[in-house]
Amino acid sequence: MLRSAALKPSRLAIRSPLTSWKFVRAYSSAPKEYDTVVIGAGPGGYVAAIKAAQLGQKTACIEKRETLGGTCLNVGCIPSKAMLHNSHMYHEAKHGFAKRGIEVGEVKLNLNQLLADKDKAVSGLTRGIEMLFKKNKVDWIKGSGCLTSANDIDVSLNSGGVESVRAKNIIIATGSEPAPFPGFEIDEKQIITSTGALALEKVPEKMIVIGGGVIGLELGSVWSRLGSEVTVVEYMPAIGAGMDAELAKTFQRSLTKQGIKFKTSTKVIDSEKKDGKVLVNVESAKNGKKETLEADVVLLSVGRRPFTEGLGLENVGVKVDAKGRVELADGQFRTAVSSIRVIGDVTAGPMLAHKAEEEGIAAVEHITNGHGHVNYDVIPSVIYTHPEVAWVGKNEQQLKEEGIKFKIGSFPFQANSRAKTIDDAEGLVKVITDAETDRILGAHIIGPNAGEMIAEACLAMEYGGSAEDVARTCHAHPTMSEAFKEACMAAYSKAIHF
C-alpha cells in the first residue's frame, strides 16, 4: 500500500561543524514549531499573541471561530454596547427630544436595521484584529486545539484534517460560556442566553431576566427601552453583583423609574412552555411564597463558566478546581505543567475582558523576561446601562469587614454644571479613602459617563494617589470629571459646589 503524500519521506542534507555533508530522513508532516502558541482568540488570547510577536517570539493563535475576538467581540461586550447605545438613542428620541426643543414626528423602531448596525460594528472590529495579526506576523490556525503533551497541540482544522503544532510555551485563553440553569432548556428563541438576546427577531411583549448582574441588567435595559415589559428575578436581596450597597439601591430606583420591575430575594424553581409562552415558577427566599410568572422570552443570565471542553487538559496533567477553572501554580500564570500558562475567564478572578488582556500581556512578559504585572486591586467594573455604573477597589462593606478605618467623600451630579446643562444629572461619585493616609481605596460612580470617568480613579490608585492629589489637579470646566474632583475634595476636606 502506498504511503500518503503527507507522510512521504524526503531527504534533507545537513552539515555539522565537525562532519562532512550527510543525508537524514524527515517528514513533511512534522509539527510546525513556535516559541508561543495561544489557544483562543478572545481579548486575552489575541492580545497575548500580538504582544508575544511584538517581543520577538514566533507566534500562532488557535481559534475555531471564523472571526477573531472571542465571545466579547462576537456575541458579548461589543454587540451589546452597540445595542445599548442605539436603544438609548431610540428611547431619547421617543421620550426626551421634545423637552429639548427637537421635534421629529413619529419615532419608529426598525429592529432589523438596529441589528444590522450592531453586526456592522462587530464585523469591522473582527477584521481589525485579523489585520493586526497580519501586521505583527501572528499565524492564525483556524480550528480547535487539543493538548497532547506539554509542548504539543493537535488542531482539528475547520477545513478538515488535523494539524500538529509544537511550542516552547502554550497559553490557554479559551474563555467562558453561559452557565446553564436547571429546569430551563435553552433554545435561543424563547429561553435564551446573552447570545440569543442579541438576535431576537421581534421585541417580546414580556421578558423575564433571571439574574440581576451585569449581563442581565444591560440586556434587560435594551429590550425595555425597545418596548418590552421586563421583570428581573434575583435571588440575592440586591442587584448589581458586588456593587457598593448605596449605589445598588440608587441603581435599582433608577431602573424602576424606567419601567423595569424587580423581584429580589426570589428563588427560581423551573419553567415550562405553554401556549407560546414561558411559565417560570418562583418562590420567595424570605417566606417561601410560590408564584408563576409568564413571559414571551426568558433571558438566563446567572453567570458564566470556564470553557475547557475538548482541550485535553487531562492528557497532560493540567489541573482544574471544583468550579472547572484551570488552576494556577504560581504568580506567573503557569499551570501544574510549567510550559503551559493560563489567562482570562478560564481561570480564577473576575470574568472581564480587560482583566484577560492585562493577564495576556503579563504572561507573555513573564515568558520573555521573567517579569509581568497585574494589579488585581485595580480592576474596574462597568455596567453600561443608563445611568452607567462603574467601580474599582474596595466598597464600604468590604472595608468594615477588614477592620480598615476609612473616610467617604461623595458628590452628586445634580451639583455638576455639565451634567445639569445636558439634563443628565442623575447619580453621584463616591470616593473612599484611608482615614490616616488619605490614599484612595475605592471609587464608585453612578451617572453619565461613569465608565469613562472610572479610569481616573484607576490611575490614581495604581500609583498610590490620595484624594488630595486628585483634588489639587486641575480639571477642565465644565466636565463630568469635576464631580470626581469634588468627591475627592469632600473626602479630605470639603467640596466647593455642594
The residues that are catalytic are 477
Give the largest CA-CA distance in the chain: 89
CB 419 within 8 A of CB 484: no
Beta bridge partners of 172: 39, 342
Beta bridge partners of 210: 233, 300
Question: Which residue type sits at 353?
Answer: A
Q: Which residue has 424606567 as its cell numbers?
A: 258
Q: Would you state the cell numbers that stand for residue 319, as one nine-digit string?
A: 489541573
Torsion region of 312: left, alpha or beta (phi above 0 gives left; psi -120 to 50 gives alpha): left
Q: Would you state the cell numbers that stand for residue 246, as one nine-digit string?
A: 448605596
CB 209 within 8 A of CB 378: no
Q: CA-to-CA distance for 10 and 27, rounded, in angstroms? A: 6
